[in-house]
Amino acid sequence: MSETTSSWPSHDPATRRWLPARSTAVDPTRVETLLAAEWERFTRHTPESAEHNARASKTLPLGVTSSFQHWDPYPISVVSARGAHVTDVDGRRLLDLSMGFGAMMVGHLNPVVVDRVRHALDEVGTLFVTPSPTATEVAERFQERFHLDLLRFTQSGTESLMYAVRVARAYTGRKAIVKIEGGYHGGYDALQVSVKPPLAEIGPADNPIPHVPHDAEPGTVYVVPFNDLGQLERVLGEHGREIAALVMEPVVENLAIVVPDEGYLAGVRALCDAHGVVLVFDEVKTGLTAGYAGASQRLGVRPDLVTLAKSIGGGLPLAAFGGRAEVMEVVVDGRMHHFGTYNGNPLVMAAAGAVHEVCTHEALERAEGINVGTLDRIDEVITEFELPAHTVGMGIKGCITWSPTPVRNYRDYKATDFRLAELSWLWGVNRQILTPPGLDEQWLVSLAHTDEDMAALVADFRELATALRA
């Protein structure tokens, strides 16, 4: 049995992290036995998904349209969705707690989004390739909502982050960048460095070695741990004159959920200012899921540039980058050119306007209240069964992290129990509760979810806890 101490730095008060007072290890043999049984159950109940994946693999690598959709032996194939649920090819109705990593936070087929998109299809058009009042109106709403002086629309988070880096390079006249070890920021080469790298290849924690995939040409990229101002100060002190930007998520959301220490982001802001480095907050995954005006406003630290995607588009491909006028001026004077045939097209602008309308303070507060209540009830289960786990929350997202101690950076994350994480995820899938695949189990309470929906998650977790201690 281990007991939790309070020797770690406090987390930012705008975030939520709960640690158990005590925990007891879970028998690994029991975990493996349950995993074997659950994988057998999965293949037995999803034959049509297996057949569809075999068919799709003849034309699509791995049988999927994006590599994250794949898991072994095959992923679930979905044919339709509405509200908080999806239906798979085997006819099973699943509670969707993935919700497109936040892209569907207003719910599948949200009636306001559907109405606005249908109007655009019937009365407006899908593409002009000219300036349009529809794009200007949405830009004005986002400008006010996210406190951005200037912004531009793109099609994806990857694209927005690429342009944010290019803006920073044009503004500073420098080329190198700094990123957070383990962090994911889309497919742009410069940000492919040290995305969940192998521990054996990245050196000591106090002096990380950047890990560069063979298929990327990133340029000069420095890597620092999250929640470590000392490492950031060292890198900027040694290389600040060549560094254009620090790119980071204010809350890391590809490692389950890793929240900043109290005062950490303010320290990051001060160090970037001292060295003339552009601070870029990647809010592709946070955005509206963190609150009405995004994570940067909630956490009280203003970056120079923000990238947005997923939550702002209502399920249509929409992203944006923007920030301080002085920095974005490089797009105005031509130091950095930004192009895109589909940027701000009327169809996605219709959806974005609907999302803005639907995502009121009241609606988001209601969803966050449901999320907090869910986390509280899961905490009770962890306490009752003395599970080696803790919970983390940010806005309408929550997760169970299989460690009794806080995860403050990538190396902490790598020390969590991934076999338990796999079992927890698969246990839910087999009981028709869908969270994102992989080892980063994270749920999202959309505007379509109810207390009753989330009670199913809690009941599922209690059943798992009972099985682990049987």
Closest CA to 458 of 390, 385, 381, 403: 381
What does the alpha-carbon distance between residue 325 and residue 310 come to, in Å, rounded to a whole number?
24
- Per-residue pLDDT 10s for the chain (470 aa) are 665 556 889 999 999 999 999 999 999 999 999 999 999 999 999 999 999 999 999 999 999 999 989 999 999 999 999 999 999 999 999 999 999 999 999 999 999 999 999 999 999 999 999 999 999 999 999 999 999 999 999 999 999 999 999 999 999 999 999 999 999 999 999 999 999 999 999 999 989 999 999 999 999 999 999 999 999 999 999 999 999 999 999 999 999 999 999 999 999 999 999 999 999 999 999 999 999 999 999 999 999 999 999 999 999 999 999 999 999 999 999 999 999 999 999 999 999 999 999 999 999 999 999 999 999 999 999 999 999 999 999 999 999 999 999 999 999 999 999 999 999 999 999 999 999 876 667 999 999 999 999 999 999 999 999 999 99
- Count of CA atoms in the C-beta half-sphere (13 A) of 122: 6
What does the alpha-carbon distance between residue 446 and residue 313 come to, in Å, rounded to a whole number?
14
We find that the CATH architecture of domain 111-358 is 3-Layer(aba) Sandwich (3.40)
What does the alpha-carbon distance between residue 285 and residue 310 come to, in Å, rounded to a whole number?
7
What does the alpha-carbon distance between residue 105 and residue 355 come to, in Å, rounded to a whole number?
9
What does the alpha-carbon distance between residue 264 and residue 280 come to, in Å, rounded to a whole number?
15
What does the alpha-carbon distance between residue 449 and residue 106 come to, in Å, rounded to a whole number?
9
Cα 80-156-140 angle, rounded to 5 deg = 105
Q: Amino acid identity of 401?
A: T
Biggest alpha carbon–alpha carbon distance for the chain: 67
Q: Tell the CATH topology of 2-105+361-468.
A: Aspartate Aminotransferase, domain 1 (3.90.1150)
User: Is 0.85 surpassed by the pTM of this model?
Assistant: yes
What does the alpha-carbon distance between residue 349 and residue 427 come to, in Å, rounded to a whole number?
39
- Count of CA atoms in the C-beta half-sphere (13 A) of 443: 33
Domain boundaries, the chain: 2-105+361-468, 111-358
Residues tagged active-site: 184, 282, 310
Q: Find out whether the peptide bond into 73 is cis, omega within 30 degrees of 0.
A: yes
Cα 452-455-456 angle, rounded to 5 deg = 100
